[in-house]
Structure 1
Amino acid sequence: MHVHLSALRYFRETVRCGSMRQAAESLRVAPSAINRQILKLEDQLQCRLFERMADGVRLTGAGEVLYRHAREIDQLLDRALSELDDLRGLRRGRVGLASEDGIIRDVLPPLLAAFHQEFPRVSFGIDVMTGPAVVQAVAEGQCDLGLAMHPQRHPDVTVLGEAAVPIGAVMRPEHPLATRAALRLSDLATEPVVMLKHGIGAQPDAHGLVRRWAQRTEVAETNSPGAVAALVRAGLALAMRSPIGIRAELATGELVFVPLVDPQVKAGRLALLARRERALPVAAAVLAERVKALLAETDRETRAAMDARMRP
């Protein structure tokens, strides 16, 4: 059985668009060409791939299986083309990244800009999502690399590098605690607080500790780290989080970050993730080495600063 790549391309685009007509417009071919290729696929595979409906199409169970493997074929082809380009000295490729919002705002831009200066023919596909979604995207092969805070373990995901990240209280500069060098949880026992929902950005152990403390003082809860910063800036309350994602506000003095040195609070963890037992495309592998070096430097700086604050 020989399945042509063009047929798989038409199939994938139909899934993405939700209809053969829209897929045809996207690929600039006639709708009849899309329909003909999909009918040929269904005949070859002896199963229906789509349920035809008035407003478009929907994958059948068999279609879901084919689509999952079709995406893997896409990624294999991208990797092969990237490696061939590298062999020809073109240094061309595309790196798929999945990242939490604060990381793409604060950590990656300077590194990606420097990488682009060195390899101008390499482009990036960047998807911003929550930490658990980053792990899932890496596990399913939807991206080459993932960056997440405190990622949960997954059998199909490996950690390529990581860095300790301080956890602390974020507040307005005029807050009475803003001048402190460090804080303990007991210092915050009566403070109103804005909470991030569990699994969004916050260090898991710290989240549980703050949840117990904040039962009486919680003012708001949100799934948006950006909203937390905005609410703190407005003077609603303080929040407990890492400084990643708010470095611009810290640099301008709009917000103040005071680290927690309480023995109950562990440092956060920023991790670079990849799919286990998958050879990265050349461009992604080179970028991964740069990110690992950045994380190692960040880890050294963070631990040195934390050790200095813990000294009497």
Structure 2
Amino acid sequence: MPASFVHVHLVALRYFSETVRSGSMRQAAEHLSVAASAINRQIIKLEDQLQCRLFERRSEGVRLTAAGEVLYQYVQRLDQDLERAIAQIDDLRGLRRGHVRIACEAAIGRDFLPPILAAFHADHPGVTYSVEIKSALDTLDLVASDEIDIGMAMMPPIRSDVQIAARAEMPVGVIAQKGAALGDRASLRLHDLAGERFIRAKEGMVGGTTWQQQIDRSAPQSTVLETNSPDIMTVMVKAGLGIGVRNPVGILGDLEQQAMVFVPIVDALAPNPSLGIFVRPQRLLSSAGAVMLELLKDALPEFAERVWNLTGQPTPDGGISTGAA
């Protein structure tokens, strides 16, 4: 029977492996607290099944044959795989250790991620994290290259080597100083922005969405400043340089404290972006990573509702998807 079809037992492989490490069946028997004859029987059974000698028996001990070397390399890999499997099972029971690698845009890291990490850490203090602040496009690159476990960004262009684990539609609107002329409106259309002094979003700032291009076509403005940073846009708006257009994620504290105003843009030419949670397709996450992913997915609908409540607009029907990754 070909060796690939031979059924071998873990006990026999364990005896074989310990004999290699010990250098003799007698010493292996002492380490394993079994009879040397039991080890010899199991090794002979392996040799019969594989139809080759695994050891050269010598008076001073044993020495691996070429076939034995091949089998020992396999057993070492098997031991490592078993250790990883046992560690993951152990982690599932208690999550006493582990490390989760996350990348996200700064706004998401500010408003969405902290309470989830805090709750997770309270339950599993042995787990550690790394959080990289990246643009949407860079975040997807890190997910696709397996350099991080989970990515979060305002929906950049869809790509086949990255999977959307969950998404939630977010509003986009005008941010302005309190008391600004547009600030008392319930909602705005793009043409309402014509003639306004503008803090302009640089192309690609929001994951590659095209609303800035639509604003430029629909409402000629006077651009005061252009930036690729939502935070810079926000502080310049607060300073009175003009208005900006962005989503509320990253400035929820300012809006809840009424430090500035946000007026949603409701216009078919300016589709709302979505906050997406991304993983690599068919990637088997660690136990800690898998639990973290589920927590993020579970928290997304409530977070979306919080964001939409601040705008005075209802959460869009079908605007949230938290399917399995």
Is TM more than 0.5 here? yes
SS in 1 for 2:291: helix
Tell me how far apart the structure 1 counterparts of residues 291 and 159 of structure 2 sit (CA, whole Å): 24
SS for the counterpart of 1:178 is: helix
Partner SS state of residue 177, structure 1: helix
Change (3 A) 1:195 1:250: same
Unaligned runs of 5+ in 2: 1-80, 317-325
- 8 Å contact kept, 2:170–2:304: yes
Q: TM-score, normalised by structure 2?
A: 0.66
Equivalent residue in structure 2 for 1:102, among 102, 107, 112: 107
Matched, 1:291 2:296: yes
Return the offset for 1:139: 0.5
Matched, 1:136 2:141: yes
Amino acid at match of 2:238: R
- Which residue among 159, 163, 166 is the counterpart of 2:164? 159
Alignment of 1:75-94 (within 5 A): 83=88, 85-86=90-91, 89-94=94-99
| Alpha-carbon spacing, 1:217–1:272, altered in 2? closer, same or farther (3 Å) | same
Using the alignment, how far apart are the partners of 2:130 and 2:119 within structure 1? 16
Residue equivalent to 2:10: none
Q: Which has the larger radius of gyration?
A: 2
Shift in CA distance, 153/111, structure 1 to aligned 2, threshold 3 Å: same
Q: Post-superposition shift, 1:210?
A: 1.7
Where does residue 279 of structure 1 map in the other structure? 284
Change (3 A) 1:131 1:202: closer
- Output the CA distance in 2 between the equivalents of 1:123 and 1:290: 16
Q: Are residues 87 and 173 of structure 1, via their aligned partners in 2, closer, same or farther at CA, if it must alter by over 3 Å?
A: closer
Structure 1 gap ranges (5+): 1-75
Measured after TM superposition, the shift of residue 307 of structure 1 is 4.5
Q: Which amino acid aligns with 2:267?
A: D
Output aligned runs, 1:30-41, within 5 Å.
none
**Structure 2 Cα separation of the partners of residues 81 and 239 of structure 1:** 53
Change (3 A) 1:101 1:201: same
Change (3 A) 1:110 1:303: closer
CA contact (8 A) 2:156 2:209 kept: no
Query: CA 1:87–1:298 in structure 2 vs 1: closer, same or farther (change >3 Å)?
Result: closer
* CA shift for structure 1 position 116: 0.9
Equivalences for 1:1-312 in 2 at 5 Å?
83=88, 85-86=90-91, 89-201=94-206, 204-213=209-218, 216-299=221-304, 306-307=313-314
Query: Structure 2: how far apart are the matches of 1:290 and 1:88?
Result: 17
The CA distance in 1 between the partners of 2:238 and 2:199, in whole Å, is: 11
Q: Identify the range of structure 1 (288-297 vs 110-119) with the bigger mean alpha-carbon deviation.
A: 288-297
CA RMSD of aligned residues (A): 2.6
Query: Matched residues in 2 for 1:110 and 1:81: separation?
Result: 30
CA offsets 1:152-200 (integer angstroms, 9 cap, x no match):
2222100000001000000001101111111111211111111121211
Take 1:168 and 1:253, find their aligned partners in 2: how far apart are those partners?
16
Partner of 2:88, secondary structure, is helix
Q: CA distance change for structure 1 residues 220 and 299 in 2, over 3 Å: closer, same or farther?
A: same
Deviation at 1:252, TM superposition (A): 2.3
